[in-house]
Amino acid sequence: MKLSYACRVIKLGGSVVTVKDKPMSVRHDIIKYLSSELASFLNEHPNVRLLLIHGGGSFGHFSIKKCLSSVGAIDVKCFSHTSYMMMLLNTYLVNELIEAGLTPVSIPPHTIFWKEGGKLKYELGLLKEYLAKGFTPVLYGDVIISDNVFEVLSGDTIAWVLAKELDVNEIVFVTDVDGLFDKDPKVHSDAKFIETLRAEELKDLKFSTSDYDVTGSMMLKLTEGLKYGVKDVRVRIVNGLVKGNVYKVLVGSSTVGTVVEY
Ligand code: IP8
């Protein structure tokens, strides 16, 4: 469904909104400046809507790791605790967004996404309604019902699904790295920065997976777009730990981050 106004999907990575290896640690300072950058952009572009999604960081991922190591699976207790942890993290972000002057509304993904017969299902009617009324919906990586079990739904997957279903042609992945490199920059000091790339060229790059993150790596994040068959989508990957970067990307500056064309 094509929206009658321009809309951008922004995924704030868990490593940007939290310190990933320190349980329940919110990066308040970063959330604060990101919120004011989003607010500045929206004030200057009142006809554009933003759809925000954040990752699990040291709230969701930590909770899931704990269940997997003690129970070996996501059971009802783990689901309940993880969804609570994600809502908690969500409140910190929503609070800052309100303080910055935005009109966010939280949409817990476990209430609109589920899996049936292994297939991801969703009900996006209300989300579209909130967008149309001028809200900034805020979603996040969450736990969902998957037939007879429970599983994690990554915020990255939500970003792709929303971009495809709402015909959005720009997704901004706000991460803790400057963009794409030909090798994992956290492992190789000689990794070369890539300014632009076509999605078909992704397979030529090599990334390691982080063992802390239960939903995968940068590569998974980007190749998922191919799986969902998105077309004419521009993905921007930007370092949110640098003040000003997200605003620059939103106003179309090509001086920061990597662009991947799908
Ligand atoms: O950080 C994962 O979301 P992501 C959410 O976007 C949970 O992959 C509950 C671990």
Task: Confirm or reject: Cβ of 58 under 6 Å from ligand 1.
Answer: no
State phi, psi for 87 to the nearest 5 degrees: -65, -35
Q: Give residue 192's pLDDT.
A: 86
Q: Give residue 212's pLDDT.
A: 43
CA gap 39, 97 in Å, rounded: 8
What is the CATH code of the structural domain delimited by 6-261? 3.40.1160.10
How does pLDDT run along the chain (262 residues), one tens digit per residue?
667 789 999 999 999 999 999 999 999 999 999 999 999 999 999 999 999 999 999 999 999 999 999 999 999 999 999 999 999 999 999 999 999 999 999 999 999 999 999 999 999 999 999 999 999 999 999 999 999 999 999 999 999 999 999 999 999 999 998 988 887 777 788 888 999 999 998 888 766 544 445 556 778 889 899 998 899 999 999 999 999 999 999 999 989 999 999 9
Q: Give residue 209's pLDDT.
A: 46
Closest CA to 127 of 100, 96, 163, 91: 163
Please list the alpha-helical segments (H only) found in the chain.
14-17, 28-44, 57-70, 76-99, 125-132, 155-165, 218-227, 245-250
Are 167 and 230 in contact by the 8 Å Cβ rule? The answer is: no
Q: Counting atoms of ligand 1 from 1, which one is nearest the CA of 57?
A: 1
Q: DSSP characters for 38-93?
A: HHHHHHH-TT-EEEEEE--HHHHHHHHHHHHHHTSS--HHHHHHHHHHHHHHHHHH
Q: Give residue 40's pLDDT.
A: 98
Q: Give residue 211's pLDDT.
A: 42
Q: How far is the CA of 152 from the centre of ligand 1 (A)?
A: 7
Are 41 and 172 in contact by the 8 Å Cβ rule? The answer is: no
Closest CA to 90 of 160, 14, 15: 14
Q: Give residue 15's pLDDT.
A: 95
Task: Confirm or reject: Cβ of 61 under 6 Å from ligand 1.
Answer: yes
Are 60 and 14 in contact by the 8 Å Cβ rule? The answer is: yes
Indicate which residue's Cα is closest to atom 5 of ligand 1.
141
Question: Mutate which of 15, 214, 221 to test ligand 1's pocket (most atoms within 8 Å of Cβ)?
Answer: 214
HSE of 256, CA atoms in CB hemisphere, 13 A = 23
Domain residue limits, the chain: 6-261
pLDDT tens per residue, range 170-212: 999 999 989 888 877 777 888 889 999 999 988 887 665 444 4
State phi, psi for 175 to the nearest 5 degrees: -125, -170
Q: How far is the CA of 118 from the centre of ligand 1 (A)?
A: 19
